[in-house]
Structures are given as C-alpha cells and as structure tokens.
C-alpha cells in the first residue's frame, strides 16, 4: 500500500473544505458531496461513481473492505488518513464513521425519464431528508425507472438523505427539474400521472400500474402544490383498516411502488 497523506488538525484548509460540503451552498458551488461509511463507498465504486478523495480514521486504518481499492496502482483516488477530530468535523453523524469520501455530483439526463412502460416517482416539495432517502431506496427496490425531484424538495446531497438511500442514489437516475415542465412531456409520451388523495374513489389496487406511470407525491404537510395537482390524471387511495388517518409520504410511496412491482411481475 502506498504512503498516504495524513491530516491531523481540523483547522487544516483541506479539512475545512471537506466540512464545508455539509452545507448545500458549498456543495452547489463545488459540485461535490460527501458519502459516509464503508457501504456507501463500496456502492459508489460498484456503480462507477469513483470518489475523488477517500479519508479514513488514522487510528482504525483503511477498512478491510476497501483495501483492494487503496492498493490499486492504477487508481486516481487520493487516499488520506485523518485524526478523529477531522473525521468528526467533516461528517454529519454523532459518532464519526471510519471513512468518508468526496465525490462529484451525479449527472443524469432527462431523456431517461421518458419511454414505453416507464415507472417514475416525481416528488413535489418533499422536505424531510430521511423521507427522500427512503423513497429513493424504495424506488430502487421496486424497480422504478427514475426519481424526479421537483420544486421545494430537500437537496439530494444532504448528508442525511445520502445515508438514508443506503447507496440507491447510485443505482437509478435521479433528476432535479421542474415538474410543471417535465410532467407534460411525460403525458405527451403516453404516461398517466397518478396522485393520492384521501377523497379518491379508486383504490391503489384497482389502478393498472403496468402502463407508463408517473407517481407524483407531495410534501409531508401540504401534499401536492396546486400547479402539480392540476396535472394529475387520476388520484388513488391506499385502503387502511386501522385508526390511522394516513401514512407519511415515504411509507405511502413504498406501498404504491410495491403494488406496481406486484402487478408488473404478475
């Protein structure tokens, strides 16, 4: 294994630069973001999103799972050991992980959203990073073709969102754009736009999810905006037997996606 640079002080300029990526303003300016932990870094390598820099806790050393990458003579990744204080400064968890990486933001083309039989999850104003990460993970697990983040959604690269995806942000296209521009394009291509409503007449189990569908889900507190609601072709309801009035947006999206998976596999 080659010698790796060591950074011990949280006041080091590079440590300050990495820690700034916890703030959206600096992520946007730099075009980079942080992923934390062995699993997410493995997922990045596995799906060809190679990190620029990997920083590991000097006291723990390079994690065994990443040693092959660290010793690769052809790698362009810069490996750096750091003190526990630097690891803590640059990550968003109470207990710093053994390793984190700096990656370029992912680039996904809008063309991936359109096509015969596509199942796309479009989010309108979903502000909770944990909910967004869970929805991306569920979309991945259920075989959705893409996720679209519309106006008012929390930043995809928020550290909590990234952690909550458990690597699924590397597995499927995630596009940030205007739903009022993208949904009409999807409808013109034959997709139906489906929302949810507690007042809907039709159960989600009666809808034919095998056809090209854009599932639009709104914010946790306000639902869909008026502009997006006006583009919905049909609303469905998730039947519930207990006393709960509703599910949160991540749970509801997951239920609908797995009904789509059930029908599409049937």
Domains of the chain: residue spans and CATH: 5-104 (3.30.1330.30), 110-265 (3.40.1280.10)
Q: How far apart are CA 236 and CA 217, in angstroms?
A: 11
Q: What is the pLDDT of residue 112?
A: 79
Determine contact, residues 227/178, Cβ cutoff 8 Å.
Answer: no
Q: What is the pLDDT of residue 175?
A: 95
Q: How far apart are CA 101 and CA 162, in angstroms?
A: 12
Q: pLDDT for 49-101, tens place per residue?
A: 889 999 999 999 999 999 999 888 878 899 999 999 999 999 977 799 999 99
Q: What is the pLDDT of residue 265?
A: 93
Q: Which of 92-101, 203-212, 226-235 has the lowest mean pLDDT?
A: 92-101
Q: What is the pLDDT of residue 20?
A: 98
Q: What is the pLDDT of residue 108?
A: 81
**Residue % of the chain over a pLDDT of 70:** 99
Compute the average pLDDT of residues 182-188.
96
Check whether 226 has a pLDDT greater than 70: yes
222: tokens are 């306000």
Whole-model pTM above 0.85?
yes
Buried b (16+ CB within 10 A) or exposed e, 225-238: beebeebbeebbbb
Strand 53-57 and strand 99-104: the pairing is: antiparallel
Q: What is the pLDDT of residue 53?
A: 96
In which band, very low, low, confident or very high, does the pLDDT at 266 lie, cut at 50, 70 and 90? Answer: confident
Q: Which residue has the higher pLDDT, 147 or 76?
A: 147
Nearest Cα to 65, choosing from 87, 39, 86, 102?
39
Q: What is the pLDDT of residue 2?
A: 57
Q: What is the pLDDT of residue 186?
A: 96
Is residue 23 classed as helix, strand or coil in its secondary structure?
A: coil
Other CB atoms within 10 A of residue 6 CB: 11
Q: What is the pLDDT of residue 97?
A: 95
Q: pLDDT for 93-128, tens place per residue?
A: 779 999 999 999 998 878 778 989 999 999 999 999
Check whether 3 has a pLDDT greater than 70: no
Q: What is the pLDDT of residue 111?
A: 77
């Amino acid at each position: 294994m080659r010698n790796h640079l060591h950074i011990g002080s949280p006041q080091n300029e590079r440590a300050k630069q990495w820690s700034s990526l916890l703030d959206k303003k600096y992520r946007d300016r730099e075009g980079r973001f942080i992923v934390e932990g062995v699993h997410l870094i493995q997922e990045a390598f596995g799906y060809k999103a190679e990190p620029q820099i990997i920083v590991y806790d000097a006291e723990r050393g390079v994690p065994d799972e990443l040693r092959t990458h660290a010793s690769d003579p052809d790698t362009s990744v810069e490996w750096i050991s750091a003190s526990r204080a630097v690891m803590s400064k640059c990550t968003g968890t109470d207990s710093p992980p053994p390793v984190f990486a700096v990656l370029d933001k992912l680039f996904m083309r809008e063309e991936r959203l359109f096509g015969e039989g596509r199942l796309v999850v479009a989010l309108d104003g979903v502000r909770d990073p944990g909910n967004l990460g869970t929805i991306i993970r569920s979309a991945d697990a259920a075989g959705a073709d893409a996720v679209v983040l519309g106006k008012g959604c929390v930043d995809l690269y928020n550290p909590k969102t990234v952690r909550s995806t458990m690597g699924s942000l590397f597995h499927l296209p995630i596009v940030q754009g205007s739903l009022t521009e993208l949904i009409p394009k999807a409808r013109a291509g034959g997709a139906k736009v489906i929302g949810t409503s507690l007042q809907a007449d039709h159960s989600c189990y009666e809808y034919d999810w095998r056809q090209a569908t854009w599932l639009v889900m709104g914010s946790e507190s306000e639902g869909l905006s008026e502009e997006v609601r006006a583009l919905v072709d049909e609303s469905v309801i998730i039947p519930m037997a207990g006393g709960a009035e509703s599910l949160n947006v991540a749970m509801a999206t997951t239920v609908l996606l797995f009904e789509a998976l059930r029908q599409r596999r049937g």
